[in-house]
Amino acid sequence: MGKLGISVYPERSTFEKDKAYLDLAHKYGFKRVFTSLLQITDDKEKVLSEFKAVVDYANSLGMEVMVDINPALFDQLEISYSDLSFFDKMGAYGVRLDVGFTGAEEAQMTRNPYGIKIEINMSSGTNYVDNIMSYSPNTDNLLGSHNFYPHRYSGLGYDHFVFCSEKFRKYNLNTMAFVNSHAATFGPWPTQDGLCSLEDHRDLEISTQVKHLMLTGLIDDISIGNAYASEEELKAMAEAFTADYPTLKVKVEEDITEDERICLFDNLHSYRGDRSDYIMRSTMTRIYYKDKEFPAHNTRDMIKGDVLIDNVGYGQYKGETQVALKEMKNDGRVNVVGRISDDELFLLDFLKPWSNFKFIETNA
């Protein structure tokens, strides 16, 4: 089972606020904590004391702190990749290399005596991970995580995200990506338009970002890049992450009947395996409710994302629930009872035949 994470930036807040946020995240089952030393300019002792209080408190909650660093920081703090005792003293679970070395150093770092995890940047698209693997690292201590992108329109495109993630997947390495909180106001740097890995996620609800990453099958752990997410967001993220089945938000038509509501919201739907290009079929509702009426109403032509129930005119198909995948003419035998929320329409492309899903009602 993957893990959820948050980010804290001690030098941009107070210990009391960080502590309260860690408590809140812990309440909802969050396990990972990301923080960054990249923007630090002070000396080693000051860095250690400022961060250590937060790291110690996170550790006391059983959370795992990952510290973002790069080779220049090793020089600045007078530490060596062959001696990670600085991070052990800090109490870090692992270090994330924002920029890497040559491959040999990373492999050596995974064999450190403290068991500190080495997390490498997944977003470059180079053969970096293959190079590290050629030096026989301890893969138990080697993890991958995507970057986050404070600048609007600079985040990863989906195809590149897949390309990069699959390089790590083939070695069975743990993978992580960042999502964006809309309640959060800061990150490690002064300017930020949110902190997500995928550009297409920037303006989506946090639960939708999580659902998408999970449906890709490429990401184990998901962390919020910016601070501080609201309790509502932490709860929604945890629910989406731990749900047995993905959910799709549906805005219902005003004239939906009670029987149609029951079909949509009181059932676990199964995407029929002999798939069509035009409709995603959930056929069991026609069996469960074969004795119900389903009179014809709202029989307009259909577009992608419309939620449909066959009416009495469709004979043995009466009561079958479907989602339109393309534009279709309506000959009067199909009731349009709702519509997948516009911001989740793209998730239809990620549901696989034979998979289960649920509908939840939304007003958005």
- Quote the pLDDT of residue 23: 98
Of 160, 125, 129, which Cα lies nearest the Cα of 142?
129
**Angle, in degrees to the nearest 10, between helices 15-27 and 44-60:** 30
Kindly tell me the burial class for residue 267, based on how many C-beta atoms sit within 10 Å of its own C-beta (0-12, 13-18, 19 or more). middle
Is the bond preceding residue 228 a cis peptide, omega within 30 degrees? yes
In whole angstroms, give the CA distance from residue 258 to residue 26.
Answer: 40
Distances (CA, A) of 284 to 67, 316, 353: 49, 12, 15
Spatial distance between the Cα atoms of 177 and 175, rounded to a whole number of angstroms: 7
Q: How far apart are CA 251 and CA 253, in angstroms?
A: 7
Nearest Cα to 14, choosing from 54, 70, 73, 44?
A: 54
Nearest to 216 by CA among 159, 279, 147: 159
Q: What is the pLDDT of residues 82-119, one digit of tens each?
A: 999 999 999 999 999 988 888 999 999 999 999 999 99
Residues of the chain with CATH 3.20.20.70: 4-243
Distance separating alpha carbons of residues 41 and 328, to the nearest angstrom: 61
pLDDT value at position 321? 98
Q: Give me the average pLDDT of each 10-residue run along the chain (364 residues).
A: 95 94 98 89 75 95 95 85 92 92 94 97 94 97 97 98 98 98 93 95 98 98 98 98 97 98 98 96 97 97 98 98 98 98 97 96 88
| Residue with tokens 């000396």, as numbered in its chain | 43
- Going by the DSSP 8-state scheme, the letter that residue 344 receives in this structure is G
Q: Which residues in the chain are classed under CATH 2.40.100.10?
A: 248-361
Is the Cβ–Cβ distance between 322 and 305 less than 8 Å? no
Q: Nearest-5° angle of CA 318, CA 324, CA 330?
A: 60
Residue with tokens 């679970």: 93
Which CATH architecture is the domain 4-243 placed in?
Alpha-Beta Barrel (3.20)
pTM: 0.95
**CATH 3.40.50.300 for domain 248-361:** no
- At 306, phi and psi to the nearest 5? -65, 140
Give the pLDDT of residue 132. Answer: 97
- CA 359 – CA 341 distance, rounded (Å): 11
Helix (H) or strand (E) holding 270: strand 269-270
CA distance 15 to 9: 10
The pLDDT of residue 126 is 92
Is the distance from CB of 165 to CB of 218 less than 8 angstroms? yes
